[in-house]
Chain A
Amino acid sequence: MTNPTRFEEAAAFHPRESIADLKWPTDPAEIPDWVYTDRRVYDLELERIFLGPTWNYVALEAELPRPGDYIRSYIGSIPIVVARDKAGEVHAFENRCAHRGAEFCKTYRGNAEQFICPYHQWTYDHSGALVSVPFRRGVKGKGGMPADFKLDEHNLRRLDVTCRHGVVFASVSDKMEPLEDYLGSEILDQFDTIFDGRKLKILGVHRNTLPGNWKLYQENLKDPYHATLLHTYLTTFGLFVAGNKTAIMTDAKGRHSTLCNARPQGRPSDDESKAEIRSFHAAMQLADPRVIQLIPEKNTPWTSNAITIWPNLILLRQTNILGLRQIVPMGPHQFMLIWTTFGYADDTPEMEQHRLRQNNIFGPGGFLGIDDNEALKFVQDGLRRSVPRHGLAPLGNDEESEDTVITDRAIRSMYRHYRESMGF
């Protein structure tokens, strides 16, 4: 689409200071502390990654089912509005009035005839185009806008939008490759396992802040090493144990990843051949096992799949939970997570209840969600409070087979891509 009112090329929201003092360590297993703590690095990330040549997740179409529907969202740290126009087309634009810069949309979601900034009633349509300004000719021939004022030069800054199977991505760049090419075939296959073209039904949204750098969250879902060690719930109740069939794959550029796992049939303790699963305590039975019950619904060998899409999306299918997590950076030391949980529009009421019950596992009050959020806070506490050093991601190697579980391979590949994007 044409996009007359755009973010500037390489939009520099903060003046770029010299970063010549920042030297990347020579050991490829080392990650310097300053990528998580330095404000200059954060500002450059906004410019070169989130407002650079990337597709950013911004909404599900099921959140905007009718013409006029809108939600608040973000690209990088920047508030945007995603809206559906009268013709059904989805648009995304900055949530900031072209006049005095007010963040005008203050509701999570809704339906609007048009968007009116409350300060001076500048009025925009569903594409973010300015359609009217009050007192344009002043009062009694005095005041008003300059004679050469043109509405279409004061539209809200718009983003390019692409949708696949109900998932909406946006980019500041209008030169982006198609989403399918951006994801690559391996990731696209896994993406389509969740978004198979069926209509989605939104079940709800969780939101939390996390006192950590946004990249830690991407890393966490590229890290199969932690899954069986941090998440005692998984091993205790047999959802994911180190002996399960597991694979982690990345796209050709190393920026996206998919961590797939196949849960054993039945309880591992019932299977004498599963001798390798020593961390599993046969005594631990859930009083109500419905929470982890798998109702087969997908034609895939994997029962769980954690997909990271660079830079701001985590897609998670665990048993019958379907959800995505949008990462919103809020400075080097904090980010927001928006967890959108959904099912399919044609789910039976029982299946919907099952998904809702199972969602006790995730979210900022979930059996696993709490572990991750706390662990990442621990990392940032260490980064923030101590003397800088280099963190380590040394496990495995970069030529190993995809079924290697105890590995940091996908974290290293993300940082190779990161350094290229950032010019480090």
Chain B
Amino acid sequence: MSRKSGNRFSDKDMRKSEEAGNAKPLVPPPAIDRAKLAELRFLVEEFHFEYAAVLDRCEIERWPEFFTEDGVYRLIARDNADANLPLSLMSCEGIGMLKDRAYAIAHTEMFAPRYIQHFISNIRVRAFEEPYITAEANYLVLETLIDEPTRILQSGKYHDVLLQQGETLLIKERRCIYDTVLIPTCVVYPP
């Protein structure tokens, strides 16, 4: 049988956006000397851990403190990113929208109480153009509801531009691209 160049629904489509939303091909390590790279990675790692600690304690109204005044936060399903569709599950442009999102979670949304735990790994510094650090990390968020087993809420990747101010960092832009496209019920707290 002569087979035309048909769609065989292979898994190549699932891989095509390994760098989802980043558009850059895989590149060698950034041209930063190793000592500087280690220093930056430590800074970024400390930042992730503090961010996770605040969210894991559900102190959502402190969440905007991690952003610059013009900080952007987007939570985007992997399939939308792959298809260049612009819809976000959560989208905040600037500190006002970040605070409004935090206020809604803290005061207007109705949801069952829950524990969440972030696990952030594979931290990579991709570029440093003072004072901005471009970085990526994998994240996993586990969620536990009353009388229910712990489940994976999201598996995703952070694509960050972080502003360095002395020893501290602030998020200029965070795009969270999540593979867990079929969301179990809802995502209350931003990853």
B-binding residues in A (CB < 8 A) = 104-116, 118, 121, 123, 132-135, 202-211, 230-233, 236, 286-288, 290-291, 336, 341, 352, 356-357, 359-360, 363-365, 367, 369-371, 373-375, 377-378
Contact = CB atoms under 8 A, between A and B. Distances in A.
B3 interface: yes
Interface stretch (B47-55, B106-114, B131-139, B160-168): B106-114
Given A116-B8, A291-B97, 6 more contacts: A118-B10, A204-B80, A208-B182, A232-B107, A365-B187, A371-B110
A365 B90 contact: yes
A107 B92 CA distance: 29
Contacts of B182: 207-209, 336
B104 A367 contact: yes
Contact of A357 (B14, B93, B186): B93
Given A113-B4, A121-B3, A232-B110, A205 B89 contact: no
Contacts, number: 156
B5 interface: yes
Given A288-B100, A370-B111, A206 B89 contact: yes
A371 B109 contact: yes
Contact of A370 (B8, B110, B181): B110
Contact of A369 (B1, B3, B92, B186): B186
B97 A378 contact: no
Interface in B162-191: 181-188
Contacts of B110: 230, 232, 370-371, 374-375
Contacts of A365: 75, 89-90, 183, 186-188
Interface in B89-106: 89-97, 99-101, 103-104
Interface in B1-37: 1, 3-10, 13-14
Given A205-B77, A356-B86, A288 B7 contact: no
A287 B85 contact: no
B108 A356 contact: no
Interface of B: 1, 3-10, 13-14, 75, 77, 79-80, 83, 85-97, 99-101, 103-104, 107-112, 181-188
A121 B79 CA distance: 26
A133 B1 CA distance: 8
A378 B112 contact: yes
Nearest to A232: B108
Contacts of B184: 208-209
A96 B120 CA distance: 39
Given A205-B85, A287-B97, A114 B186 contact: no
Contact of A359 (B1, B77, B91, B97): B91
B85 A202 contact: yes
A99 to B, nearest CB: 14
A360 B87 contact: no
Contacts of B185: 208-211, 364, 373-374, 377
A360 B92 CA distance: 9
Contact of A104 (B9, B93, B108): B9
A287 B183 contact: no
Given A116-B8, A211-B185, A364-B185, A204 B86 contact: yes
Contacts of B8: 116, 118
